[in-house]
Amino acid sequence: MSEKRDTQSGLVVSAHSADFVWRAGGAIALHVQQGYQMHIVCLSYGERGESAKLWRKGNVTEAAVKETRQQEAQHAAELLGATIEFFDLGDYPLRADEKILLRLADVYRRVQPHFVLTHPMQDPYNYDHPLAFNLAMEARIIAQAEGYRPGEKVLEAPPVYCFEPHQPEQCNWKPDVLLNISEVWERKYAAIQCMRGQEHLWEYYTRVALQRGVQAKRNIGITSHKAISHAEGFQSIYPRVTEKLA
């Protein structure tokens, strides 16, 4: 890992090792293309809860599932152009104590991200996702504190965006940002195809990208005239500071 601090960077906190692909693969690839250093933290491999197909083959150990999942995620990250690290905390349930919290705060300090992507705060289908949200949020705040590892460069206030959950309305998730990922869609779809254990989701998330693309076209003002075919939705946690409203 060799993030340079003078380039722009982004941080993705993913509960399981495939979440960053379905939910933020376009944002990652797009910002890499714009010169950002994108870094992904996978809190777990999703070995218990999101590897059904692997388990159903039978005669498989947890270690083997984790290894497969790590390879898939590593490969996907490479295709997207991002660095990736694995905390291997276990899933279903995912748990994080204070030590893990500070470990993530240290990642923030090191990466100094210009923006952060993570899960939304509610998900009645998944308890690991809100935990990842809270961990990402609290670690960010600690990394901003002058009194945490005094002397280190503190984190400024990067915006946090919650990416799209599997059943958005049930999570009370409401996108206020639609990111045009049309230019990098092929790269995202290539990364999606790394996830061999969840093939049933490939077309689901292709359709998500197409629907968000149509919606993006409906919300465009006069300023932007780029063609849009695919998009990703995000919900902001903080107000954005700007000098331009159009």
Site for a second copy in 66-105 (CB under 8 A): 92-93, 95, 98, 101
Quickly list H helices, 34-162. Answer: 52-56, 62-80, 98-111, 128-144
Taking the complex as a whole, how short is the minimal distance between the CB of residue 182 and a second copy, in angstroms? 9
- Cβ proximity to a second copy: between 52 and 85 the closer is 52
Taking the complex as a whole, how short is the minimal distance between the CB of residue 244 and a second copy, in angstroms? 7
CA distance 166 to 23: 9
Instruction: Based on the shown chain and the rule CB under 8 A, indicate whether residue 47 belongs to the binding site for a second copy.
Output: yes
Q: Are 178 and 215 in contact (CB under 8 A)?
A: yes
Whether the ω angle into residue 124 lies within 30 degrees of 0, i.e. cis, is no
Q: Pick the stretch among 15-23, 77-85, 153-161, 188-196 that binds a second copy (CB under 8 A).
A: 153-161
**Reduced to 3 states, what is the DSSP secondary structure of residue 235?**
strand
Q: Which residue has the tokens 């998330």?
A: 205
CA distance 246 to 237: 21
Q: Which residue has the tokens 């206020």?
A: 176
Instruction: Based on the shown chain and the rule CB under 8 A, indicate whether residue 223 belongs to the binding site for a second copy.
Output: yes
Taking the complex as a whole, how short is the minimal distance between the CB of residue 98 and a second copy, in angstroms? 6
Site for a second copy in 124-143 (CB under 8 A): 124-127, 134, 137-138, 141-142
Site for a second copy in 165-204 (CB under 8 A): 166-170, 172-180, 204
Instruction: Based on the shown chain and the rule CB under 8 A, indicate whether residue 224 belongs to the binding site for a second copy.
Output: yes
